[in-house]
Amino acid sequence: MMHRVPRLAERRLPAQQGRSQKQEKWIQSRLFTKNCELLEPWTEIAKFFLFVEMSMVLSASVVRVRDGLPLSASTDYEQNMGVQECRKYFKSLSKKLGQLPDRCTLKTGQYNINFISSLGVSYMMLCTENYPNVLAFSFLDELQKEFISTYNMMKTNTAVRPYCFIEFDNFIQRTKQRYNNPRSLSTKINLSDMQTEIKLRPPYQVSMCELGSPNGFTSSFSVECKSASKISSAHQRLEPVTLPGIVAFILSLLCGALNLIRGFHAIESLLQNDGEDFSYVIAFFLGTAACLYQCYLLIYCTGWRNVKSFLTFGLICLCNMYLYELRNLWQLFFHVTVGVFVTLQIWLRQPQGKSPDYNV
């Protein structure tokens, strides 16, 4: 064996003759860089699925949005106290599904609860905190598609007893096994499409303040968080604005501008004549503020939005009643009619409901 080594060295020597040591190092570095570029995407994919292997789907449930009636659930026998405690949040969430957006996540420490809602039914799942969002919502999307294709809306709407579709658990278990085995998903899921969808419309993060106590009693923490739960509606999106809504917005701006102009004229008249009443100036500016606030309510979603719109309309009516001496009947009729029209459009443009064509 020893006499063959020099022969191999001798054979390689002619191929290396004429190259300097720097050239050899440059060639080796280029080959190394090229190999790294070829292996980089596969390394990232391997890291992702290694990460998934360390996390898993633990439980799933199908619930009716209207009243929180459980329609089906996975039959799990997990004895972990943390998992058992998290399942209590399923019931608390079921009572508030109608008030939440159609894609949400609740973080409870070591575990996450994700759910989507469509056509009056919500699909919920419990997973470990490091389980990727793209796979979690893809899992829920598969449950949704299968449930919709298996049971029609009439059955789900008329269901009376809990877990009347418990046979759906067979599909839940099969899907859960697939999603807990990342190697079986590598050829069936387009991760880039799912990540794009999650980035464009990320899930709403439900806070413990909004959920309340799962044990049925009010803690001091939940009392402190009441103010935070009241502003959760600000995160919801309103339905797309319609043509009547645009017309109402423009008319409200016009009324506000007319009130503002008349208010400045009233100030000018007040400076010239000491006998003028300053209360007219206040009435004109209050009317301007009310019209602009109606425009704000028409565009943005806030807490107690409908109540605020009716109170604002009441303020518009009071201002016009006070200004009846400075306006003719047609002007009063125009301002009040615009106020009614804008209030109606605010009431009609509600937060977006559950999307029937939801797809991750």
Within a 10 A sphere around the Cβ of 195, how many other Cβ atoms?
Answer: 13
Average pLDDT for residues 58-83, to the nearest whole number? 80
Looking at the whole model, is its pTM more than 0.85? no
Across 21-25, 181-185, 189-193, 297-301, which has the greatest mean pLDDT? 297-301
174 neighbors 142 (Cβ within 8 angstroms):
no
Helix (H, G, I), strand (E, B) or coil at 88: helix
Token pair 């449950």 is found at 143
Judged against a pLDDT cut of 60, whether residue 115 lies above it is answered with yes
Reported as a single tens digit per residue, the pLDDT across 39-49 is 455 455 444 44
Per-residue burial over 143-172, b if 16 or more Cβ lie within 10 Å, else e, is bbebbeeebeeeebeebeeebbbeebbebb
- Comparing CA positions, the residue from 103, 124, 97, 90 lying closest to residue 205 is 103
If phi > 0 it is left, if psi is from -120 to 50 it is alpha, else beta; for residue 64 that is beta
| CATH number attached to the domain at 57-234 | 3.30.450.50
Over 50: is that where the pLDDT of 5 sits?
A: no
State the burial class of residue 106 (Cβ atoms within 10 Å of its Cβ: 0-12, 13-18, 19+).
Answer: buried
For the segment 223-236, what is each residue's pLDDT rounded down to a tens digit?
A: 445 444 444 454 56
Q: Which band of pLDDT confidence, cut at 50, 70 and 90, is reported for residue 130?
A: confident
Question: Is pLDDT of 100 > 80?
Answer: yes
Share in percent of the chain as helix, strand, coil (round to 5): 60, 10, 30
Where does 111-206 show beta strands of DSSP type E?
111-118, 121-128, 204-206
Nearest C-alpha neighbor of 244 from the set 335, 314, 348: 348
How far is residue 284's CA from residue 255's CA, in Å, rounded to a whole number?
Answer: 10
Q: Which two tokens stand for residue 226?
A: 């009441």
Which strands form 70-73's sheet, in the order they lie side by side?
70-73, 57-64, 121-128, 111-118, 103-107, 204-206
313-329 pLDDT, tens per residue? 999 999 999 998 888 99
